[in-house]
Amino acid sequence: MSKFIFIILLCLPTFVNSNGHWSYKNKNDWQQNAHYCGGNLQSPIDLWFNRSRHDQRLKPLHLVEKPSHSEVIIQNNGHSVQLNLKDRYILKKIAPLSEDYNVEQAHFHWGHSYDNRTGSEHFLDGQSYPLEMHMVTYSSLFANIGEAASNTRALAVVGILFELSDEPNQFLQPIIDALQDIPYQNGQSTIKNFNLLSLFDEKRMHRYYRYDGSLTTPACFESVIWNVLQEPLPISYDQLRAFQSLYDEHRQPLINTYRKIQPMGTRKLFRSFHAHHIHDNELKARISTTENHAQRTFFNMKIILVLATFSMMKF
């Protein structure tokens, strides 16, 4: 009986994120069974530096580890790879005077072995990345994640992008080693010597984008405070290939496990950092190009307006 209860608790986040049977192969049909998936606050989005605004109220996110002697459970749930992190970590400083958020789980999104440029759900200034990790938390004002899931801003998710590197990420390797034990749906194993704090590198949690959005899988509840870290983590080709080598419920390759970019609409995008905090030279160049284009467009519009006004006066 106790083993059955444990399995139910492990699968709880999957139940929270789902609304009946769904698949990444029929993403356009999600809203037929989960109406929130057609809402105006959906995720993911493209995070454009020049369309965001610095908010000095956004402080460094702070992840605190709780005493725990149990091993981390990792599972192939047929849609993704999921880590059970319940009762292990607390996320603090989501907002001034905010309550703590309890970390429930973390999972990954990736693409296809034939294309190592796509796989992430969020983009940075128009660029996708091969892997994205989501750390899912819920407000401590609620008893559990199921109770919190449909309530406004009751969930907070930290998104971490990964970019290809020549060298393997040693802090990610314990997860990679465990993937070989869970090639098929419902396969589960334990992770040894894994430390989420070491993987994140707390300095990276100082710089992030913030917006109000949704879960990126059915039921797509619009209850998420999104915090996407600005600086990607490294992952080697072989490490990425380990994710791309998994299988889904039909024993078909588990690939393209990401949702397409959703409309921003009237939402506002904020960031905790300034341009000089960005270390990626390529990203800096893209931001500068976009900014110059916007300035030229604005200047041209001013010229057109002046000429139009002069023409009307002359007439």
Mean pLDDT by 10 residues, the chain (315 residues): 41 48 92 95 98 97 91 96 96 93 98 94 98 98 97 98 98 97 97 91 94 98 98 98 96 97 98 85 58 51 58 58
pLDDT of residue 282: 59
pLDDT of residue 2: 42
Query: Quick count: other Cβ atoms within 10 Å of Cβ 213?
Result: 25
Helical residues (DSSP H) of 223-280, grouped into ranges: 237-244
pLDDT of residue 192: 85
Residue corresponding to tokens 């307006």: 305
pLDDT of residue 284: 56
- With 0-12 / 13-18 / 19 or more C-beta atoms within 10 angstroms meaning exposed / middle / buried, residue 150 is middle
pLDDT of residue 77: 97
User: Which residues are identified as catalytic?
Assistant: 79
Compute and round to an integer the Cα radius of gyration of the chain. 21
Question: 176-199 burial, b for 16+ CB within 10 Å, e for fewer?
Answer: bebbeebeebebbbebeebebeeb
Phi-psi region at 16: left, alpha or beta (left = phi > 0; alpha = psi -120 to 50): alpha
pLDDT digits (tens, 9 = 90+) for 90-106: 999 999 889 999 999 99
pTM comes to 0.86
pLDDT of residue 13: 45
On whether the CB atoms of residues 273 and 206 are closer than 8 A, the answer is yes
Largest CA distance in the chain: 88
Paired tokens of 283: 């990203």
**How far is the C-alpha of 108 from the C-alpha of 80, rounded, in Å?**
6
pLDDT digits (tens, 9 = 90+) for 165-199: 999 999 999 999 999 999 999 999 999 889 999 99
pLDDT of residue 12: 44
Write down the number of H helices and E strands in the chain.
Answer: 7, 15
